[in-house]
Amino acid sequence: MDISLSLLRFLIRSRKCGPTEATIPGIRRIRLLAAVIAGWTIALAPMAARAASVRCGWLDNPSPGNASLHDKDGEWTIAVQGEYQANGDWPPAFRPGRWISRGPGGYGYGCACLTVELDPAEKRFLTILSGQTRPLSVCRKDSAIARIERQLR
């Protein structure tokens, strides 16, 4: 990274350069600058893909090892028993009145916001960084996800 920063400083400060000429023999300034920018883009792409995102909606945990979040963009997989599980701590601790239990074991659903690293192509969460529960009324009033509760019952 230090070499490319030095090269960029050289290209910017060079006084002999015209719009397309470089002081380095045989190399055009614009092509070299484009190569440096392309290199940075390639190097930083994995970090951008793993940038944190906040997703809010219905958190569904119907049975052991199975969980998903339903938001305005559809269903996001958190875990599938025996196959996949996102890293991190889930589900967040729901206060009384914010969780609808279905069956034994306290499994059910509630309204939550999760800060996550996700894989949009696979529609799944890679890492759950944090979570916050919300009153059920927040999801029930959200026109993009209100109808989903009927499917979760």
Q: What is the pLDDT of residue 135?
A: 97
Q: Which of 77, 103, 101, 100 is nearest to 90 (CA)?
A: 77
Output the six-digit token pair for 101.
């239990």
Indicate if 45 and 64 belong to the same structural domain.
no
The domain in which residue 84 lies consists of: 53-152
- pLDDT lower than 70: segments of the chain: 1-36, 38-50
Same domain for 43 and 58:
no
CB 32 within 8 A of CB 11: yes
Do 45 and 57 fall into the same domain? Answer: no
pLDDT of residue 103: 80
pLDDT for residue 91: 83
CA terminus-to-terminus distance, the chain: 53
1 HSE (CA, 13 A, CB side): 5
Same domain? For 58 and 103 the reply is yes
Q: Give how many domains the chain has, as a whole number.
A: 2
Query: What is the pLDDT at residue 48?
Result: 47
Statement to judge: residues 41 and 85 lie in one domain: no
Q: Which residues contact 6 (CB under 8 A, 6 or more apart)?
A: none
Percent of the chain with pLDDT over 70: 67
Could you tell me if 83 and 145 lie in one domain? yes
In total, the chain counts a number of residues equal to: 153
Residue 44 pLDDT: 54
Same domain as 142, residue 80: yes
Q: Within 10 A of 68 (CB to CB), how many other CB atoms are there? A: 23
pLDDT of residue 36: 64
Q: pTM to 2 decimals?
A: 0.67
DSSP for 109-144?
Answer: EEEEEEEEEEETTTTEEEEEEEEEEE-HHHHHH-TT
Give yes or no: residues 79 and 13 share one domain: no
